[in-house]
Amino acid sequence: MKTILAACLLFLLPLFAFCQNYSKGSKVEIKWGSGWYKGSVIDTKSNQYKVSYDGYSSSWDEWVKADRLRTPGAVAKPATPVKAATLSEPVDLPVAKYHAFQSNGAGFSYQYTLILNSTTSYSINKHAGDYNYNRSTGVINFTSGPIKGFTGIYRLKNPNNPKDPPTIVIDFNGNVPVLGQINKNYIYAYLQKK
């Protein structure tokens, strides 16, 4: 009898966690992209929860369903970040046009068109700047112009979405982006076909 009861509890506990009801003020972790971020519930309506991310402005607040929430500390498979120096061989950065997008919490919104004019210069809205590119690591440092101080990394393939074109992932805080993580501080500049 105890064995049957224990088996039933083991089966039902994950179900209760999935059906968890959160109330206003609840501390939660919010699924965003491939990661979990700390935050809190600031409003509820029917089966949706308005959440606020810890450390982010209210412009990032969003409505989510319970399947994107969990109690803090719940076990989940961690994201496996890809480090900058994992290019199997040096890769040339295509001198081309890229459309840049940034996450807005619900999707990605267009920011600007980045044009790499040469192997050392770029432009955004007719404003020119310079950059340095390291073929071995894929790291791009924007040294002058509209995005001076930004750092990017060239991603030939997206392991999470093989249909994505080659991309320059840019961190506007100047850090080398960690591939495999979606970050609100990242801009994704997608290579445009000619």
Domain contains 174: yes
pLDDT by residue (tens digit) across 126-174?
999 999 999 888 899 999 999 999 999 998 888 777 888 999 999 888 8
Domain boundary among 10, 41, 74: 74
β-sheet bridge partners, residue 98: 114, 191
User: Does one domain contain both 89 and 183?
Assistant: yes
CATH number where 116 lies: 2.40.128
Amino acid residing at 154:
Y
Range of the domain at 28: 21-74
How many domains in the chain? 2
Q: Has this prediction a pTM greater than 0.75? A: no
How far from the centroid of its chain's Cα atoms is residue 56's Cα?
14
Q: Which two tokens stand for residue 163?
A: 């249909």
pLDDT by residue (tens digit) across 110-129?
899 999 999 999 999 999 99
User: Does one domain contain both 131 and 150?
Assistant: yes
CATH number where 66 lies: 2.30.30.140
